Chains A and B, each alone.
Chain A
Amino acid sequence: MAITIHLPTVLAPFAQGERVLEVSSGTVGAAVQDIGTRFPSLLPRLADSSGQPYAFVTFYVNDEDVRFLDGFNTPIADGDEVTIVPAVAGG
């Protein structure tokens, strides 16, 4: 059983249209690097050039915001769901 990453539709084009990805890495940051290696144009949308999270893209492990856990060092285990939520402003 792997870890599931849910991408919003705004980011799916950078992952060849995929909206659900699977990773097996041990932290959120490692998962970001993992999917960033698979989809290089996705990486700069998820993390800045030093690999740190942006203030306008939120990562949730299950329903917890990782900023209130251990940021990109937050551990993830099989069965966890990571949801990526970028700020959008449309109305």
Chain B
Amino acid sequence: MATLIQARAAESASDGPALSPEELIRYSRHALLPEVGIEGQRRIKAARVLVVGLGGLGSPVALYLAAAGVGTLGLVDDDRVDASNLQRQLLHGTRDVGRSKLDSAVDRLYDVNPHVALERHQTRLTAANALDLIAQYDIVVDGTDNFATRYLVNDACVLTGRPNVYGSIFRFDGQVSVFCDPAGPCYRCLYPEPPPPGMVPSCAEGGVLGVLPGLVGVWQATEVLKRILGTGDALVGRLLLVDALGARVRTVKLRRDPSCPACGTRTLTALIDYDQFCGLGTTDAVPEITPREAFARWQSTPGVQLIDVREAQEHAISRIEGARLVPLATLPDVLDSLDRTRPTFVFCKVGARSARAVRYLREQQFTDVWNVAGGILRWSDDVDGGITKY
């Protein structure tokens, strides 16, 4: 087998770096595919792909692209491995808890394929570094976990002319597309504005089925390889919807929005403040109280209302005894059972949903309502270490 492939390699006058004998054996199942062959494998080896985020989506993307022999993988993440990541982030193992995700990923990926060059970027992607970073690569994979960074990745890809292989997940549903291709739309064409903070829970708040990032990330990796090889029908101008509960996969059409400031009118000529764009600065407008202060006042002042706006499933994992559970969506239903004039402290997991609740309660004429900064996680750190963090 190896001899045959080597003979074919010798015959092939293709682009890209040559493959070593070890690589020819390693990639033999690719070489047998007419759509890949030795030439395609050399193209894969010549490719430079940037993976932004080494979490749920970044794990399968990086693992499969490394295994497939993508010559250079850029890896961006500044987070550390947490035990709650292991249910879905297969780059990292139990022994890696507490390590930087980048260190953990590099060890794992070198083990998968030592022929791949791994470029480490131990940083958050920011408006200050995104253009320089992205310009160093041919293809960008969006494996981030928040709206602000998704708009940043998109805009930086439009401005640098790099394709954005997008995937996102929540609970049992996933989305995949290839944005920022000259023939198709960008992320802003699909979602011109992000939802207000707290309206859409994150996976940390709402949960995600562990296999879902596998389904979606492998699809992203597939689009990357097809793009490098120039084969198949690219997922450009289409949004692939994965419905794990319904066992349904379907695509819908996406169109370029001529009024899109990024890829349409091109009025967006530089990166912006994405936290502000996503309304993340507006939590400043909500009165905040630290968990320590909230606890002290709750203990010392009769009549303080301590409201937990998380979901029942989160409450089942950990709770502050004595707080009243009112999941955010049900808040309007219980207004009459609350006292609008008594001190009211609202918390969730980290503070985003409770900020939204505080804003709503103020609109409803609550006069003494406060957001517990950092939510139950900070309460666990600062007030009661017995509360489980999740």
Contacts and interface: CB of A to CB of B under 8 A. Distances in A.
Contacts of B193: 54-56
25 contacts: A8-B173, A8-B243, A9-B173, A9-B245, A10-B170, A10-B206, A13-B329, A55-B192, A55-B193, A56-B195, A57-B195, A60-B253, A63-B252, A64-B253, A65-B253, A68-B255, A86-B195, A87-B195, A88-B168, A88-B170, A90-B145, A90-B208, A91-B53, A91-B144, A91-B203
Interface of A: 6, 8-10, 13-14, 19, 41, 54-58, 60, 63-65, 67-68, 83, 85-91
Given A10-B200, A56-B191, A90-B203, 8 more contacts: A54-B195, A56-B195, A85-B239, A86-B200, A89-B200, A91-B58, A91-B203, A91-B213
Contacts of A64: 252-253
Contacts of A88: 168-170, 173, 175, 200
A14 B328 CA distance: 12
Given A55-B192, A58-B190, A85 B252 contact: yes
Contact of B329 (A41, A56, A58, A87): A41
Interface centre among A13, A85, A87, A91 (most CB of B within 10 A): A91
Interface in B221-250: 239, 241, 243, 245-246, 250
Contacts, number: 102
B43 interface: no
B171 interface: yes
Contacts of B195: 54, 56-57, 86-87
Nearest to B172: A9
Contacts of B175: 85, 88
B271 interface: no
B56 A91 contact: yes
A60 B202 contact: no
Nearest to A13: B329
B71 to A, nearest CB: 24
B51 to A, nearest CB: 11
A90 B168 contact: yes
A56 B193 CA distance: 6
A54 B213 CA distance: 26
B40 to A, nearest CB: 29
Nearest to A58: B190
Contacts of B144: 89, 91
B253 A89 contact: no
A20 B70 CA distance: 41
A21 B49 CA distance: 42
A91 B194 contact: no
Nearest to A86: B200
A57 B194 CA distance: 9
Contacts of A13: 329
Contacts of B53: 91
B145 A89 contact: yes
B241 A91 contact: no
Nearest to B170: A88
B141 to A, nearest CB: 10
Given A54-B195, A89-B202, A91-B53, A10 B171 contact: yes
A73 to B, nearest CB: 18
Contacts of A8: 170, 173, 243
Nearest to B311: A13
Contacts of A54: 193, 195
Contacts of A14: 329
Interface string B157-194: 00000000001111111010000000000000011111
Of the candidates A6, A13, A90, the one having the most CB atoms from chain B within 10 angstroms of its own CB is A90
A56 to B, nearest CB: 4
A63 B251 contact: yes
